[in-house]
Amino acid sequence: MQLSENQPAGIEISLWQYSMNERDRNRWVQSLSPDERDRAATYRFDRDRASFIAGRYLLRRLLSGYVATAPSKVVLVADEHGKLSLEGRDRPQFSLSNADGLVAVAVASGCERIGIDCERADTEIEEVTLDAYCSVDERRWLDELPAHERARAAVELWTLKESHLKAIGVGLRENPRNVTFSWEDSLPVAAHDGKRDRRWFHRLIESGSQHVVALAVCSRSGLPGIHTRLFQDDSMPSE
């Protein structure tokens, strides 16, 4: 199916709990570019290699619908900070994240910037790390939460910050403390360098109990509709 670049604004989030089956992975790797295969070979840990291959496989599968070509023919380019785009096109906007068993990809038409991040919900964040990435107000908010909510809330806060920094394309080159969150009607609201920009929207995406997924969107025309789906790999095993 070819998807038009001019279709109405919308955000498609695909979440994939990929298998660790080597046969599946050997099939996915066939969709990757020679550069991606070289990079996959450099990972020291099998888990990290699997995560990278699954991420690029899903990304290529999704983008191939926009450029009407086979996943292996999609040409991805990375800028000097590592942010990917489709060669020669600034649309659709997309973002990719991996976290130990889960790949999350957001693809958007009709918005200026998008960033997605996922982390394991049980990630343990040390106090010294919290001090490094939280503002005083964020720290106070975390400290006032019931003990059983605090650890997950700290991961959510981190994931929201990283999604924003990925959307603007700098990643962790910028101090996550420069992006601060407060809550309005239970929704996260960001300020960057102390300023709120009303073109930005942030959401935590329902993704089950094991992972936290956060989305950052910059859109002049309001937050486009968000559609989340669980990706199922329907490609045929090779004999």
Where do contacts with ligand COA occur on this chain (CB under 6 A)? 52, 55-56, 81-84, 96-98, 117, 162, 166, 169-173
For residues 65 and 171, which CB has a smaller minimum distance to ligand COA in the complex?
A: 171
Tally Cβ neighbours within 10 Å of residue 147: 6
Minimum gap (Å) between residue 10 Cβ and ligand COA: 21
User: How many CA atoms, within 13 angstroms, populate the side-chain half-sphere of residue 33?
Assistant: 10
Report how far apart, in Å, the C-alpha atoms of 41 and of each of 36, 38, 74, 194, 220 are: 9, 5, 20, 42, 41
**Closest C-alpha to 105, from 207, 27, 24:** 207
Q: Are 103 and 18 in contact (CB under 8 A)?
A: yes
Q: Are 3 and 66 in contact (CB under 8 A)?
A: yes
Which residues partner with 191 through β-bridges? 180
The letter for the amino acid at 228 is T
Minimum gap (Å) between residue 227 Cβ and ligand COA: 21
For residues 55 and 71, which CB has a smaller minimum distance to ligand COA in the complex?
A: 55
For residues 80 and 184, which CB has a smaller minimum distance to ligand COA in the complex?
A: 80
For residues 94 and 140, which CB has a smaller minimum distance to ligand COA in the complex?
A: 94
Tokens of 96: 């990719």
CA dist., res. 163 & res. 171, Å (int): 8
Minimum gap (Å) between residue 212 Cβ and ligand COA: 12
Rg (CA), the chain: 18
**Closest C-alpha to 13, from 206, 210, 169:** 206
Minimum gap (Å) between residue 127 Cβ and ligand COA: 19
- Position of minimal CB gap to ligand COA: 171
Minimum gap (Å) between residue 114 Cβ and ligand COA: 10
Minimum gap (Å) between residue 123 Cβ and ligand COA: 11
For residues 43 and 141, which CB has a smaller minimum distance to ligand COA in the complex?
A: 43
For residues 8 and 205, which CB has a smaller minimum distance to ligand COA in the complex?
A: 205
